[in-house]
Chains A and B, each alone.
Chain A
Amino acid sequence: MNETQKTAISVGIDIGSTTVKVVVLRGKEILFQHYERHYSEVRPKTVQVLSLAKEVLGEEPFTVAISGSAGLGVAQAARLEFIQEVFATGQAIEELAPDVDVVIELGGEDAKILFLTGGLEERMNGTCAGGTGAFIDQMATLLAVTPDELDQLSLKHNLIYPIASRCGVFAKSDIQPLLNQGARKEDLAASIFQAVVDQTITGLAQGRKIEGKVAFLGGPLFFFQGLRDRFTETLRLTPEQAFFPEWRQYSVAIGAAMYAAENDEETFTYATLLDRLEHSVNIKSQKHVLPPLFANQEEYEAFRQRHARATVAHRPIDSYSGRAHLGIDCGSTTTKVVLIDEDANILYQYYSSNQGNPVDIIRQQLQQLWQLCGDRITIASSVVTGYGEDLIKSAFSVDAGIVETMAHYTAARFFCPEVDFILDIGGQDIKCFRIKNDSVDSIMLNEACSSGCGSFIETFAKSMGYEIADFAQRGLMAKYPVDLGSRCTVFMNSSVKQAQKEGATVEDISAGLSISVVKNAIYKVIRARSTEELGENIVVQGGTFLNDAVLRSFEKELGKQVIRPAIAGLMGAYGAALHGRSLGLERSSIMGPQELEHFVHTAKPTVCGLCTNRCNLTVNIFSDGRRFISGNKCERPLGRKARKELPNLFDYKLARIQALQPVPGPRGKIGIPMGLNMYENLPFWHTLFTKLGFEVVVSDLSSPALFAKGRYTIPSDTVCYPAKLMHGHIEDLLEKGVDTIFYPCLTYNFDEGKGDNHYNCPVVAYYPELLYANVEKLRHVRFLYPYFGVHRSKDFEKHFYNFFQQEFGPMITRKEIHEAVQAAYASYEQWKVDLRQEGQKALAFARENNLPVIVLAGRPYHLDPEVNHGIPRLIGSFGLVVLSEDAVSDLVEPQKVNVLNQWTYHSRLYNAAKFVTTQPNMELIQLVSFGCGIDAITTDEVRDILETHGKLYTQLKIDEISNLGAVKIRIRSMLGAMEERERQRKIRLETKEVSG
């Protein structure tokens, strides 16, 4: 820095995704700093904040530079110097804190890390890694607290829940059920901060150690003590190492100002800069705009009147006496209550956000209802549905529960008896089902990735400073709705950012968001190709459809009119009430006014230690001493006698794999990581190496702790969870003191003759390469990852002999190798034979006892309890016999398919599906790992095979998250449909017998 730079004034403007920051510097001295939220009014806000610096700037000439994700557009329009924000941070640190080794900067939606010593490296979060500041805001809304309160709460935590750290949406799906189970907000708040920390470490550091002096920058780290604590603790930093500079939320603006001082030639005065900026305000450049929702007010009026017709009669509750039926829908974010008379007229209704505490809200509602009912009205039945079904049912002695899908169908049928398609967009999820022959024919729920849905619009509205109703209203008359794409909320966030950069108005963004939600539903969840596919009589419901902009977008996208009941947000509760009406009860067992008066509910979190799943349980204790446990994946912690264990191939397979114990041998230990294809190939390699005198040591079963151990070396955050776990398995082997690890690359799998080829997928085939390149510790041990072709046994033997000689010396004969290889193939064959036999046994058992069978079809590594999250056992707990795809895939001739059938694992899926179509009382559930690109191909094909033969298709997407709530709904809905089909089949048989 030369003399003039030390005395000259420079201005740095940082326009991020949510705020504008302006800093005025003289040399290193900060003369002025200010920040404000811009609520997407980027340019006017910048001008406004700058005007506050007027006095400081005076008439002096200065240089200026702009930075930040939303600053690019402004810089271009105003022809000002632009500097990339990570680069700006680097500049600021270099000048102000040159002894810092690592910088972690969290912004509204970006997260960045800079390694300054030992090789400069700067990273930003990938496109899938979600926001941070905005994420915390969203989570605070979810807990119904302000971000500051969230911070305060977090300081009083006792325990931290594992919350998926990859992206905001995933974390949300983890937190919601915990909330509904009654977990403490203090603990959740800290867990949210921990998720941000984990995300930073996994997504950004990617294998590089964060050590030395670490500077923490950006708004969230400025405001949240709890977040700072989590970082310091997780990274084990001493107070000297953790550096939280005073100016941490202005670092980018400071860096920009410094850059301007050094590089910029053009100087401004306050007046000329303001003129330049103000002049740029009017420039509009929008790329993707969509046609407006309504051409004019008249069109909107006609639309409103048409929809006003789908209504239910209301009857004043004080004018009624007699029997009534209560329906409760305890959803993920909202609670709905409906009371109807015997003629299904609504006597009372309630719809509200559950503020993170549904139990309390229901209690208040019930008290109010009892008061309104007085002696005139008898509550004859009560039924609860939704995420909180079990908890509410148990807390208030509700008569019955009904699965959400059936509740919605019951309600929709009431409005439109011919309904053949129902679409429900709620706060957290999208549900849609086709109706055929009076029963739910197929059910589609959104996958974890595209959730967000309704609550997304709501949180977005709030973050921009609007109430949802007002925000939606603004969208209706938008002239140029922005095209935001149809992906997950994280993508929408950055698309919105782009729209802001291009000068879109709040109106345009509001309309664009509605259109996106609709497109998400149609193209990602329903996967419709033509509107005819959806059916003739479509009923839409769920709170999100109360938003006219969403409803209009849907009709426009479909090109046809649909029915939206006036009580679109109450359909679950209304359906539950209708269901109650059909139960024929005398008087409901629901908790009375006296008991409610003294009702107290406390929730205590704990970890179940009864099996390796180590579920996070919430023990709810009610005032009368009753306990309700939630969060469990099986019945064991409930203390009930487990029902007789039904055959479950997943248990069998896992036991078989675990029975392969190390046998001490003269050649020492060889380690094998227990994941991916090892779940199937271990019998082969175990025999091979044991025969050759090695003690085969396998890593422990996967667990969240094991995952955490290895996640710091994961280079690609979008790869599937089973692959990510491999990093933990390597760490585990190293901890076991193994100095030789064997994990071969297998381009080809065993050839089972079922398809056109027998490849492994690229990730299974080559993950060892990635491990070696990214896990530094592997360089210090012997990591063997040779290329083998197990599909050609003779060539394999030859290659293995060469490999062995090269790696372990010449003290081996061809005969020894030959025998070991023969034994390995035999052992693998035996494992396959046993598996098929066990499958037959299970099938026979099911037939004898007339039990329904589920073929749970996925990949060998879905056997990993940490990957399947206990789903096989959960399915078993519904009284079903569970088979695996590889136990039945040899029972039919190879299935011909419409795609290139070239992967061994996937060929099995097609065959298993074909087998299921030949069997009564049997359905298939496909397990799909999030991020599996190949399953984008197989799922459609498996669905085709099943549906053309009249079977149901159910898909469960699994990832790091272990929220089984959605899984339960799917399974129960499927069982409902199975029962209905079975009932109709019997009716058909009976009528046949009668007529025949």
Chain B
Amino acid sequence: MSQTNTQNTQEQRPIFTEEMRKEYTILIPTMLPTHFTFLCSILNQHGYHVEQLRNESRSVIEEGLRNVHNDTCYPALLVIGQMIDALKSGKYDPHKVALLITQTGGGCRASNYIHLLRKALKKSGYGYVPVISFSIGGLEKNPGFQIGLSLLDQLLYAVMLGDLLMLLANQCRPYEVEPGSTDALVSQWIDRLVDFLNSQKVVRYKAIKQFYHEIVQSFAALPRQGEQKPRVGIVGEIYVKYSPLGNNHLEDFLASEGAEVVVPGLLDFCLYCVYNNIHDRDLYGGSLVRQSATKVVYDFLLKKQREMLQVVRDAGFFTLSNFDHTATLAKGYINSGVKMGEGWLLTAEMVELVENGVNNIVCTQPFGCLPNHIVGKGMMRAIKEKNPQANIVAVDYDPGASEINQQNRIKLMLANAQLEKRKGGEA
């Protein structure tokens, strides 16, 4: 009997070393194009060489199907498929490439993506490629990749500026007089902000705040026309919610159907993670010191969000709520102890959208997503009961789901939105 062991492979994983930092290219998956562009340039400024993957062809899905258990969630399949497809593309020297993937460590199977990626790499003959876990909690250590405080600070700005640009662009794009002018403005800003971030040793918050105003004004000055289009909110599992690759370019589809898209920001998800760490001790006990420290982080982030959103509101743009208010909205629907996957936040975001007049909602999830059974589909009835005007459609994404099926359901939701609007007009 062979005694080869499956044991200890965790220790045997290829480590991303100090030396690699100089000559390796780190690849990250497609998810939030704007945010991740910032992320890349900040990391590059810290001496890494990071590249955001853009490959989207059918072979991404093919590689995913080939390399990941097909019942695993769609995001894992896409992220892993995209990375292996990139390694095979010939664009990179696989011996000079590392892969970066986020890891949250919650009770959802998403915490296992990194391991599934490693298994897939091994089976495809890329077992030597180091995989870096990107997690604030530090689930795994890599000497060549460490997130110091100053980097963390800058990454936070990347998230905030990304949220800001996304928020403003979504409100301008459907009304722009000159097609493409909104996206052009977004790229201009990305270039300028990246240049700025690269030129600073330490980024001062004051300077960022100054940018907020300038950014908001530049969008306010963008020539726009036409009457208000129905707003459609997108919530869901974080990957398919944001990634055009994951949701078959949902935002583009909604826009082509004459909707204005509203997407809650990434910072809300970060705040949600921090909030859960505080709440965990209330529910189950644990270290008080740790809880207090986490509270400091929470308040810090919250203040940053409040200040940014205020600038947007002052200029007359639409925003969703500040997170401390969002956090109260789950009450009456679901306990904030539900912390796996998008947890209570998903429910709260649906309520938040309705509360802010965005009654039309697409709730996206990978087919068979475990937390979304509870927090998405499981809560829709309760939400509709208390908010009869809510018009929610749940859409499942997976490699086999046909686009027409998804679009037909979204169209039904949009038809209802039109009907509501007409009825509202008559009344």
Q: Do A and B bind each other?
A: yes
Is the CB of A119 closer than 8 A to any CB of chain B? yes
Q: Roughly how many angstroms separate A288 CA and B114 CA in the complex, as a whole number?
A: 30
CB-defined contacts of B412 to chain A, threshold 8 Å? 84, 86-87, 122, 124
Contact B107 A759 (CB under 8 A): yes
Q: How far is the CA of A788 from the CA of B379 in the complex (A)?
A: 22
Does B115 touch A at the CB level, under 8 Å?
A: yes
Which residues of B are at the interface with A, using a C-beta cutoff of 8 A?
1-2, 4-10, 58, 65-67, 69-73, 105, 107-109, 111-112, 114-116, 118-119, 123-124, 283-285, 333-335, 337-341, 367-375, 377-382, 384, 388, 394, 396, 398-409, 411-412, 414-416, 419
Residues of chain A lying within 8 A (CB to CB) of residue B58: 288, 483
Q: How far is the CA of A22 from the CA of B149 in the complex (A)?
A: 67
Name the contact of A898 in the complex, choosing from B67, B107, B119, B375 (C-beta under 8 A).
B119
Q: Which residues of chain A are near B388, meaning CB under 8 Å? A: 119
Contact with B along A731-769 (1 / 0, CB 8 A): 000000000000001011000000001011111011101
Contact status A948-B2, CB under 8 Å: yes
The answer to whether A773 touches B107 (Cβ under 8 A) is no
Q: Which of B333, B370, B401, B406 contacts A933 (CB 8 A)?
A: B370
Q: Which of A799, A936, A948 contacts B71 (CB 8 A)?
A: A936
A86 to B393, CA, bound (A): 14
B374 touches A766 (CB 8 A): yes
Contact across chains for B402 and A773 when beta carbons are under 8 A apart? no
Given contacts A119-B384, A523-B66, A762-B341, contact A936 B72 (CB under 8 A): yes
CB contact between B408 and one of A72, A716, A767, A902 (< 8 Å): that residue: A72
A745/B335 in contact, CB under 8 A = yes
Distance, CA A495 to CA B370, complexed state (A): 25
Considering the chains assembled together, what is the distance between the CA atoms of A773 and B385 in angstroms?
10
Q: Find out whether the CB atom of A501 lies under 8 angstroms from the CB atom of B404.
A: yes
* Contact of A940 with B by CB under 8 A: yes
- With a CB–CB cut-off of 8 A, which chain B residues contact A718? 367-368, 373, 396
Which listed residue, A120, A497, A899, A902, touches B107 by the CB 8 Å rule? A902
In the assembled complex, A699 has its CB within 8 A of some CB on chain B: no
Contact with B along A531-569 (1 / 0, CB 8 A): 000000000000000000000000000000000000000
Q: What are the residues of chain B within 8 A of A895 when measuring CB–CB?
A: 7
Checking A774, A787, A935, A949 against B283 with a beta-carbon cut-off of 8 angstroms, the contacting residue is: A787
Please determine whether B373 and A723 come into contact, CB atoms closer than 8 angstroms: yes
Is A933 a contact of B109 with CB atoms below 8 Å? yes
CB distance from B356 to the nearest CB of A (A): 21
**Which residues of B have CB within 8 Å of A769?**
334-335, 338, 374, 378
Any B CB within 8 A of the CB of A180: no
Does A360 have its Cβ within 8 Å of any Cβ on chain B?
no
Given contacts A492-B400, A745-B335, 6 further A-B contacts (CB under 8 A): A86-B412, A206-B381, A491-B401, A715-B380, A766-B340, A934-B370
Given A716-B378, A950-B1, does the pair A898, B338 have CB atoms closer than 8 Å?
no
Q: How large is the interface on A (under 10, 10 to 19, 20 to 34, 35 or more residues)?
A: 35 or more
Q: Please give, as numbers and ranges, the residues of chain B lying within 8 Å of A530 by CB-CB distance.
A: 123
Contact A937 B72 (CB under 8 A): yes
* B367 & A766 in contact (Cβ 8 Å cutoff): no
CB pair B337 A747 closer than 8 Å = yes
Cβ–Cβ contact B338 & A766, under 8 A: yes
- Residues of B near A931 (CB, < 8 A) are 368
A795 and B72 CA atoms in complex are apart in Å by 35
Residue in chain B with minimal CB distance to A289: B58
Q: Which residue on A lies nearest to B12, using beta carbons? A: A898
**With A773-B334, A774-B378, A937-B112 as contacts: A491 and B340 at CB distance below 8 Å:** no
- List of A residues within 8 angstroms of B338 by Cβ: 745, 765-766, 769
Shortest beta-carbon distance, A727 to chain B, in Å? 12
Within 8 A of B (CB), among A467-514: 483, 485-488, 491-492, 494-495, 497-498, 501
Query: Measured between alpha carbons, how far is A902 from B381 in the docked complex, in Å?
Result: 32
Closest to B400 in A: A487
Q: B1 to A789, Cβ gap below 8 A?
A: no
Partner of A84 from B115, B372, B396, B411 at Cβ < 8 Å: B411
Per-residue CB proximity of A96-126 to B under 8 Å, as 1/0?
0000000000000000000000011110101
Residues of B within 8 A of A903 (CB): 107
Partner of B416, one of A119, A122, A940: A122
Is residue A939 within 8 Å, beta carbon to beta carbon, of the partner chain? yes
Is A933 a contact partner of B381 (Cβ separation < 8 A)?
no
Residue A357 interfacial (CB < 8 Å): no
Contacting pair A949 B370 (CB below 8 A): no
A563 to B116, CA, bound (A): 34
Given contact pairs A896-B8, A937-B112, A948-B5, A773 touches B381 in the complex (Cβ within 8 A): yes
Whether the pair B2, A761 counts as a contact (CB closer than 8 A) is no
Cβ–Cβ contact A69 & B72, under 8 A? no
Q: Contact: A933 with B378, CB < 8 Å?
A: no
Task: Report the Cα distance A207→B381, complex, angstroms.
Answer: 8
Q: Which residue of B lies closest to A940 (CB)?
A: B69
Contact present for B116 and A937 (CB under 8 Å): yes
A661 located at the interface, meaning its Cβ lies under 8 Å from any Cβ of chain B in the complex = no
Q: Mark A115-139, 1 if CB is under 8 A from B, else 0.
A: 0000111101011100000000000
Per the bound structure, the CA–CA distance linking A937 and B115 in Å amounts to: 10
A770: chain B residues within 8 A (beta carbon): 373-374, 378-379
Q: Which residues of B contact A501 (CB under 8 A)?
A: 404
Q: Once the chains bind, are A900 and B373 in contact (CB under 8 Å)?
A: no
Q: Are B67 and A529 in contact (CB under 8 A)?
A: yes
A873-932 at interface with B (beta carbon < 8 Å): 895-900, 902-903, 931
Question: Beta-carbon contacts of A719-733 to B below 8 Å, as 1s and 0s?
Answer: 100010000000000
Partner of B403, one of A120, A498, A773: A498
The verdict on A236 contacting chain B, using a C-beta distance below 8 Å, is no
Q: Is the CB of A789 within 8 A of B285?
A: yes
Chain A residues within 8 Å of B72, by CB: 933, 936-937
CA of A134 to CA of B161, assembled, Å: 51
CB of A517, distance to nearest CB on chain B (Å): 13
Inter-chain contacts of B115 with A (CB < 8 A): 898-900
A83 contacts B by Cβ under 8 Å: yes
User: Which partner residue on chain B sits nearest A449 by CB separation?
Assistant: B71
Which residues on the A side are within 8 Å of B105 (C-beta)?
A: 757, 900, 902
Choose among B8, B71, B370, B377 the residue that contacts A761 (Cβ–Cβ < 8 A): B370
Contacts of B284 in A (CB 8 A): 747-748, 787-789, 791-792, 795, 799
Tell me how far the C-beta of B96 lies from the nearest C-beta in chain A, rounded to whole angstroms: 24
Asked whether any CB of chain B lies closer than 8 Å to the CB of A944, the reply is: yes
Residues of chain B within 8 A (CB-CB) of A936 are 69-73, 109
Q: Name the CB-closest residue of B to A528.
A: B66
Q: Which residues of B contact A124 (CB under 8 A)?
A: 408-409, 412
By the criterion CB–CB under 8 Å, are A498 and B404 in contact?
yes
- B377's nearest neighbour on chain A, judged by CB, is A716
Report the minimum CB–CB distance from B362 to chain A (whole Å): 14
Q: State how many angstroms separate the Cβ of B187 from the closest Cβ of chain A.
A: 28
Bound together, the chains give a CA A949 to CA B6 distance in angstroms of 10
> Once the chains bind, are A765 and B107 in contact (CB under 8 Å)?
yes
Q: Does A156 contact B (CB under 8 A)?
A: no
Tell me if A715 and B401 are in contact (CB < 8 A). Answer: no
| B399 engages A485 (CB within 8 Å) | yes
B323 → A minimal CB distance (Å) = 21
For A121, what are the chain B residues with a Cβ–Cβ distance below 8 Å? 384
CB distance from A527 to the nearest CB of B (A): 7
CB nearest neighbor in A for B65: A523
CB-defined contacts of B404 to chain A, threshold 8 Å = 69, 72, 494, 497-498, 501
Distance of B404 from chain A, by nearest CB (Å): 4
- State the CA gap A897–B10 with chains docked (Å): 8
Interfacial chain B residues near A495, Cβ < 8 Å: 400, 402
Report if A945 contacts B (CB, 8 A): yes
CB distance from B337 to the nearest CB of A (A): 4
- Distance (Å) between the CB of B340 and the closest chain A CB? 4
Residue A524 at the chain B interface, CB threshold 8 Å? yes
Cα distance A3–B396 in the bound complex, in angstroms: 44
Question: Looking at B70, B105, B384, which has the most chain A CB atoms within 10 Å of its CB?
Answer: B70
Residue among B114, B372, B401, B402 with the highest chain A CB neighbour number at 10 A = B402
Assembly CA distance A501 to B403 (angstroms): 11
Q: Is A896 in contact with B10, judged by CB distance below 8 angstroms?
A: yes
